[in-house]
Structure 1
């Protein structure tokens, strides 16, 4: 086990003990916090920003804390915000982040990594979906992967930004299906609308994005839904099998979680963990998950720390196999 991984897990184990202390009532209630700041390290309107503002609404409406500010720090897949967080000392500060940041740390050669800040909790996950144009000659993911293995360059796949969740899933699927990751012809689009247009115009062989992006077109029959990346089928597209059902041992969740600054004291960290736990446990947050089509993937303490360390290793490995880092 590497030094950074040992440091990360040690911090996470400490976090678990702190959370237990908070639950025992030996620290101040998180509702007693006079204010809370939540950084969304991306532009307004994106996934991290939307999640941060929905969390803000729940915390305010349930009176867990009343003065909750969300602010944006844009740039470089969230690594600009991560760098800022690493220099912060505010004990009432959280940063929203997720799987995209894990890849961005690698592809942007960020000098600051996740081991340089403090994990608080993972909140949710959003499944991916693999689709194809309605006119595709391939009716299933298995049919496509067999053809893809023979001609990876000739069967381009549309998705989001380079090194992001969509490309990570493409690489993991290729590896599972015997496709050389370096030969995958992945076309990165800046927005879901552009990749959708490429699919509807038969300019690419397949596309990968969040279910919310392509789900309506799958339900309408404008796209073929080949597989979802979750452990179980999604209620949003119930007739679409999982990647595992299609015969490939791949599960990917576009998860989102919260971090805080390094060196935070024991009581403030316990307060933040309990605050997030209390928000997660509300009916209001359950309503948010249901309306957004997100999966409840809450983790805190050592479990979240182990997950982050494993995810860093998995993403780093596939990005190196693809040739991005």
Structure 2
């Protein structure tokens, strides 16, 4: 073989090897299709592809239930020994582990990247007599049991937000009638058909239904009003000292090699700076909340302590 031919063959093999190195990744989405975790994972990998950062095959798996703990438990079992296996998770998972007495230990997984923060909104049926958040809280205070409120998993940020609202209004948290839903769409259905008096969820899961006139948003858990919801007051503006966000991020499998983790940290860092991802954030109404690697691991540890303390203070856990 001539030198030039050998070099061409070697170069081609190098390209093939590089492609094989990023040919396939398994991604656990520990929720039903259409929810926030599902959207975060699929949108992130679509943007990675569009930006040319990762163009290999992605195998998604949905496994909902118990605030993500069922999916993460399956992820822990099924992805053992796989170098490129990732899972989406978030603030909901932290509280769900405590309330469901799950054996999942987040510190065992490999922290890759925190991607987004999404604030929450409380909504009622479009023709509800509750025109303001104050109106709703009056009804809640008068008869908590007769005021069912839907949201995500028990102990998740939706549940915590309602508990904080109740605390701020002087409503006993144990008396709340909180009904966990499978997803944001299910919460909207409950609001519209009257089985729920209100619902709490992320902005992206409710905004479309509000624009369609099916529900009315009464408040948002941000510090200041959002441009996308300029007519919606914050909880604080309405007199209730509540500010909370649902963050979402990416974990690597328990035995992911460090070299692979660093490669994914680099990819998600590039993603956070890409126009493709910025377009996703704007479209979905997500706030950028990027943090990578060990710093993200420290955040998870700190957030676990904070959320568990809120659950105890609200009487949701011992």
RMSD, aligned CA: 2.9
Is 1:89 matched with 2:49? Answer: no
Q: Which position in structure 2 is the counterpart of 1:72?
A: 61
Q: Could you say which residue in structure 2 is the equivalent of 1:112?
A: 104
Aligned with 2:169 (options 167, 177, 186): 177
CA distance in 1, matches of 2:182, 2:273: 35
Distance 1:210 1:308 in 2: 20
Report the counterpart of residue 290 of structure 2 in structure 1. Answer: 298
Contact 1:38–1:70 (CA under 8 A) maintained in structure 2: yes
Structure 2 CA distance for aligned equivalents of residues 298 and 31 of structure 1: 28
- Name the CA shift for 1:121/1:194 in 2 (closer, same or farther; >3 Å): closer
**Cα distance in 2 between the residues matched to 1:224 and 1:57:** 31
Q: Structure 1 residues 142 and 118 mapped into 2: Cα distance closer, same or farther (>3 Å)?
A: same
Distance (whole Å) between structure 1 residues aligned to residue 52 and residue 193 of structure 2: 49
Q: How many residues were matched structurally?
A: 297
Deviation at 1:110, TM superposition (A): 1.4
1:121: Cα distance to partner?
1.0
Specify every segment of 5 or more residues in structure 1 that has no aligned partner in the other structure, as ranges.
1-28
Give the drift of 1:104: 2.5
What pairs up with 1:146-225 in 2 under 5 angstroms? Answer: 146-219=138-211, 222-225=214-217
Are the structure 2 counterparts of residues 32 and 113 from structure 1 closer, same or farther at C-alpha, using a change threshold of 3 Å?
same
Distance 1:61 1:206, change over 3 A: closer
1:241: how far off?
A: 1.4
Name the residue aligned to 1:267.
259
Q: Kindly indicate whether the alpha-carbon contact (under 8 Å) linking 2:111 and 2:293 is maintained by their aligned counterparts in 1.
A: yes
Q: How much does 1:157 deviate?
A: 1.8
Match of 2:233 among 235, 241, 247: 241
Whether contact under 8 Å (1:129, 1:228) holds in the other structure is: yes
Change (3 A) 1:120 1:167: same
Which whole-Å CA distance do the structure 1 matches of 2:151 and 2:176 have between them? Answer: 12
Distance (whole Å) between structure 2 residues aligned to residue 201 and residue 312 of structure 1: 36
1:43-97: per-residue Cα shift (whole Å, max 9, x none)?
A: 4443323322222222223322222313215143322332344452333222111
2:134 maps to 1:142 = yes
Name the residue aligned to 1:39.
28
CA contact (8 A) 2:85 2:252 kept: yes
- Structure 1 residues 130, 73: closer, same or farther in 2, change over 3 A? closer
Distance 1:190 1:263 in 2: 30
Deviation of 1:130 after TM superposition, in Å, equals: 0.8
Worse overlay, 293-302 or 277-286: 293-302
What is the TM-score of this pair, normalised by structure 1?
A: 0.78
Contact 2:188 2:215 in 1 (8 A): no
Distance 1:91 1:232, change over 3 A: farther
